[in-house]
Amino acid sequence: MKLVDVHCHLESDEFRESLGAVLSDARRAGLVKLVTASITPEQWPVSRALADRYPEVECAWGVHPWYIQRGDESRLDGLSAACEAGVVAIGEIGLDRKIESPDFETQRRFFDAQLRMAIELDLPAVIHCRGAFDDLATSFKRIGIPKRGGLIHSYSGSAEWIRPWLDKGIQVSFGGALTYRNSRKKREALRLVYPDFLLLETDSPDIPPVERQGQANVPANIVYNLQAASEILERPKEEIAEHTTANAMRLFGWTAL
């Protein structure tokens, strides 16, 4: 059974001394690809080095809304070199109305610029969105959607929003939050996802599954997320693994694993 973790943060300091062991555990769990999403320009060369060292690691480059510096769009310099650097997506980029700083208009300006770049580079976008799904739809309408589509990671929107995103060609990924019994909204949304648009992630080292609550998350924990999805959807784990792996291959342009 082959699995893909479409969203994690292997550049994190949490893994600095243990990444080799973490990836060995990931392989034993069935992971054949992991996409590590950089959140600042300082992380871009780190993720590139990891992808060069470990064949199962792929990297995405972007500036996360939490790490935008007001007015300093020079932080996006170099992102246009992403295609030459062999990254598989632009991200993690996004919009977040749950934070006060940076202000939302600054977030929107950075997001729009990076969305345009994904379109120009013909790369999918990896998107963080909290409390800003109307705004995200507005940006898509004004700027467009990458031809390769994209994914909304760790989906937190309502079930009502799911089908409109899928119909736009946007895939959605779910992680450790599915394992918590009180995540009713996410479970309802999961049930509405078309099989060809479902992805799995860990967001490691964040959002551990309930089975590892209180610990740093690791990619191998994707097996708990898979189990939760299987129980919620009442489908075999093998079937969900097959769909989510095929969906990741299509999104990121992989021809073989």
pTM: 0.96
d(CA 126, CA 105): 20
* Residue 82 pLDDT level (bands cut at 50, 70, 90): confident
CATH number of the domain at 209, please: 3.20.20.140
Q: Buried b / exposed e across 109-132, counting CB within 10 Å, b at 16+?
A: bbbbebbebbbebebbbbbbbeeb
Nearest to 221 by CA among 197, 234, 244, 203: 203
CB 241 within 8 A of CB 3: yes
**Cα–Cα–Cα angle for 87, 90, 91, nearest 5°?**
115
Per-residue model confidence (pLDDT) at position 81: 80
Give me the numbers of helices (H) and strands (E) for the chain, helices first please.
Answer: 9, 8
Please check whether residue 58 lies inside any domain of the structure: yes
Q: Is residue 47 pLDDT above 70, yes or no?
A: yes
Q: Is residue 71 pLDDT above 70, yes or no?
A: no
Domain count, the chain: 1
**What average pLDDT is seen over the chain?**
95
Please check whether residue 227 lies inside any domain of the structure: yes
Please check whether residue 174 lies inside any domain of the structure: yes
Q: Is residue 240 pLDDT above 70, yes or no?
A: yes
Mean pLDDT, residues 151-174 taken together = 92
**Pick the residue with more confidence: 122 or 77?**
122
Q: Which domain holds residue 120?
A: 3-252
